[in-house]
Amino acid sequence: MSLSKFRFAVPLCVILIAVTLSGCSYRYAFELEGTVRSAKDGEPIKGVTVTLKVNDADAEFSRPLVFLKDGQFEGEFRVGDSVFFGKKLPTFTLVLSKDGYFDEHVDISPKKDPGETDELTRFVVVAYMRHR
């Protein structure tokens, strides 16, 4: 067998390995919905800024969520499987802020690794804010 038959095999193998390794990450989908209420009277609070923070050993990111009427909010986010590789699970925190109220931090961290699933993990939150 001549080596000329294999001259394309090595570059092809290198390309296949590079594509395979770069695409070996999995992303978990999460959906979040909730209501923000006054700690004093339980009434919904409109106009609250809700920000999601995700922390793990290697990275942190935050993003605002969509705020709806009557104190409700919703959002979807995805995180790579790398945040679940360590010994410690990542931390998901909702940060709620509005003038006239104390900022609130609500821990909604996952309690276990979601595993390899295509299902959406859903969080439903009712949070309370205290007047200043």
In order along its 132 residues, the chain shows pLDDT tens digits of: 555 555 555 544 444 444 444 455 667 788 889 999 999 999 999 988 888 888 865 555 567 777 777 888 888 888 777 777 777 788 889 899 999 999 999 999 888 777 766 678 888 999 999 999
CB 25 within 8 A of CB 80: yes
Query: Which residues, 6+ apart, have CB-to-CB distance to 26 below 8 Å?
Result: 80, 81, 116
CB atoms within 10 A of CB 25: 9
Identify the pLDDT of residue 29: 81
Q: Which domains does the chain have, with CATH numbers?
A: 26-129 (2.60.40.1120)
Beta-strand relationship, 66-67 and 72-80:
antiparallel
Q: What is the pTM of this model?
A: 0.70
Identify the pLDDT of residue 22: 46
